[in-house]
Amino acid sequence: MTEEHSTRGRANALRLAMTGQFGPDGMTGRRLYEVLDLCLSCKGCKSECPSNVDIARLKGEFLQHYHDSHGMDLRERMIATSADIAPIFAGWLAPMVNWFQDTALFRKPLELMTGFDQRRRLPHYTSRPFHKTFAKRQPKHNANSRRIVLFDDTYMNYYEPDIGISAVNLLEACGYRVTLARAGCCQRPRISHGHLREARKEGERTLRALDAYIREGLDIVVCEPSCASALTDDLPDLIDDEALGNRIRQHVHLIDAFLDREIKAGHIQPRFTSRASRFIVHGHCHQKALYGTAPMISLLRRVEGAEVNELDSGCCGMAGSFGYEKEHYDLSMKIAERRLLPAIRNRTPGTEIIACGFSCRHQILDAEGVKAVHWVEAVKAD
């Protein structure tokens, strides 16, 4: 790896650009874009750097300036509006849309127009959005159940509703009464791609919707790590209301961290079971960098007799849209081949692959044809 593609090199390049040493257009120029291009926005540098320098955040700030100067192409517009598009294509249109986007008739022109690599298959929309399924289900709780709010993210609602269903079943089995947040998108796609003004405007609405629950004394749990990081790490620093940001940081939790804390406090004592006897666990980058995987591993180890193997696999290589982009596809696969994909190929029968990140699961599915699951799908509580 060359110096410019190291964290130190990227930080130095940003410093040079900000002090005018890249010329008057340094903060909007192509050279700095190239230096930051291979940053996966994993946030590893924030936790590993003694100074807590968040290159992912600085990259987002730079990209906003870059878009302002150069405009947005079709690919950037698709990413920025992905959470708005998903509700349109999920539901009754999903079977037709999924079939069409899998065809060469769609993927080849898409590559030509947007640069999304035709070797990739876009994630499938669900024909049964989670929030609609939730509205029709019969709750399994009693009048004394403690209320908890589940953040129903875009991926859960419009792509993988089974995660939401599993999370609700798990929380109810642990004695909670579940309310869906219905608070909108966390703005992760916009934040990572430098559409910060839109992210700030839409994200503040989401935070204020969540704050209404917090003011009722409720906690909010999140299944998708990239959504949790947007809500608790990125958006609070984008908005001007510091008190709101602090309340969000205090009361929004990854679901594994919340349940592990509740168990250790003696508030709940669930017994976990699973169809699997072994788990291979790939942690999401933001999960590892900001929250840690220890709570998830602790919960999985509560399954009697289960063998839990957490991979030291780094990033899966997909990193949001990074692995879909033609110029990054080969590197994306090389990253996955370091440890993640070989471990999956060499797994023994009866092993469940755990990946909490939407991007991680799709990288595994796309590369190996193997369905990884969120940990809430792998266990049941009684």
Amino acid identity of 272?
F
Digit-coded pLDDT (tens) for 145-196: 899 999 999 999 999 999 999 999 999 999 999 999 999 999 999 999 999 9
Digit-coded pLDDT (tens) for 80-112: 999 999 999 999 999 999 999 999 999 999 999
pLDDT at residue 1, rounded to an integer: 55
Kindly write down the DSSP assignment for every residue of 8-22, as one continuous string.
HHHHHHHHHHHTTTT
Answer yes or no: same fold for 130-263 and 271-381. yes
pLDDT at residue 16, rounded to an integer: 79
Q: What share of the chain is helix, strand, coil (3-state, %, to 5)?
A: 55, 10, 35
The domain defined by 271-381 folds into: Rossmann fold (3.40.50)
| Token digits of residue 77 | 């517009």
Torsional sign, CA 256, 259, 263, 268: negative
Which is nearest to 118 in space by CA: 133, 134, 105? 105
pLDDT at residue 51, rounded to an integer: 65
pLDDT at residue 10, rounded to an integer: 83
Among the CATH numbers 3.40.50, 3.30.300, 3.40.1350, 1.10.3470, which is that of 130-263? 3.40.50
| Collapsed DSSP state (helix, strand, coil) of residue 380 | strand
Digit-coded pLDDT (tens) for 298-346: 999 999 999 999 999 999 999 999 999 999 999 999 999 999 999 999 9
| Whether residue 199 has pLDDT greater than 90 | yes
Digit-coded pLDDT (tens) for 288-300: 999 999 999 999 9
Which is nearest to 330 in space by CA: 117, 122, 39? 117
pLDDT band at 24 (very low <50, low <70, confident <90, very high): confident
| Token digits of residue 46 | 């924030």
pLDDT band at 9 (very low <50, low <70, confident <90, very high): confident
- Domain residue ranges in the chain: 3-70, 130-263, 271-381
Apex 212 CA angle, 206 and 217, nearest 5: 130
